[in-house]
Amino acid sequence: MDEPLVAVVGPTASGKSAWALAIAEAFGGEVVGADSRQVYAGMAIGTVQPSDAARARVRHHLIGHADPADRYNLVRFLAEARAAIEEIRARGRLPVLVGGSGQYVWALLEGWSVPEVEPDLELRARLEARASSEGAATLHADLRSVDGRAAARIAATNVRRVIRALEVHAVTGRPISDWHEARDPKEALVVAPEVGLEQLDVRIGARAKGMFEAGFVEEVRALLAGGVAPEVAAMESVGYREVCRHLAGELSEEETVEVVAQSTRKLARRQLRWFRPNDARIQWVTQVQQALALAAVALRDARNG
């Protein structure tokens, strides 16, 4: 019988990466990333990729392998994650999914069928122009009229995802939420570190400071020098645009650290829309020992079943 899938989810800075590492080490597992930003090469500091030491202890997949000049997407993630999980199981090891990109996590766990819709650059340009001239709320209202479920899940401020949902509807004639219905749910234990918002905010502030001490500015400078344009999707990751502003002389380093922390706190709250405390699919626990105990039970039940 296949090893079960364990998923460790939650907002950024909640400690889920350390938990996933502990579970993988305890039960002979390998980690599969479910983070839309940690996939990019050359962006280890700003996206808080697992350290070299962590990757030496446990094999990691889908971390730092994509070209920052490319637009990584859900279709590619699903193909790569499913292949990685199959390979891990073929070796008789436990796949441990970890990440805060809620769309990626649930798409994999619920078996979404995602349309391979090529970007309609002309449509995107028109919608982006409308968002600029009329406001993001206008596009969100358009989405609400054709796909209320998607509008309820996507924030009006997330213009890129609103445009993508409108694009899929225009090209396929179907709401994107139809494509995202659960079709082949995976048996999985889903756990999340329970951390209060106040504590999370403190962690985020400390981590933002540590990123700059670790060379975040130098990392962004190297990306730009290597030909990565500030406009590409990878550079939309929290922190990178802010550091670009710092390099352009618009912000001091102290101001940049604070702006990055503020942006990260907003990201954490957006992620919590995907991982709600009352979601029956998720087991929220306060200690990694509890997560390890849950994983042990899931493994025992799978092997005895």
Do 211 and 46 meet the contact criterion of CB atoms below 8 Å apart?
yes
Helices (H), the chain: 16-27, 52-57, 74-90, 102-110, 121-134, 136-146, 148-153, 159-172, 176-179, 197-213, 216-225, 240-247, 253-271, 288-304
Specify the pairing of strand 283-285 against strand 29-33. unpaired
pLDDT digits (tens, 9 = 90+) for 221-259: 999 999 999 999 999 999 999 999 999 999 999 999 999
pLDDT confidence bin for 284, thresholds 50/70/90 = very high
pLDDT digits (tens, 9 = 90+) for 93-142: 999 999 999 999 999 999 887 767 777 788 888 998 998 899 989 999 99
Give the residue carrying structure tokens 């380093």: 253
Q: What is the pLDDT of residue 124?
A: 85
Mention the CATH class of domain 121-179.
mainly alpha
Mention the CATH class of domain 1-111+192-305.
alpha beta
Q: What is the C-alpha separation between 203 and 190, in angstroms, rounded?
A: 23
Which of helix, strand or coil describes residue 115? coil
Q: Where are the domains of the chain?
A: 1-111+192-305, 121-179
Encode burial over 57-87: b for 16+ CB neighbours within 10 A, e otherwise: ebebbbbbebebeeebebebbbebbeebbee
- Where is pLDDT greater, at 77 or 180? 77
pLDDT confidence bin for 183, thresholds 50/70/90 = low
Q: What is the pLDDT of residue 86?
A: 95
pLDDT confidence bin for 36, thresholds 50/70/90 = very high
Q: How many residues does the chain have?
A: 305
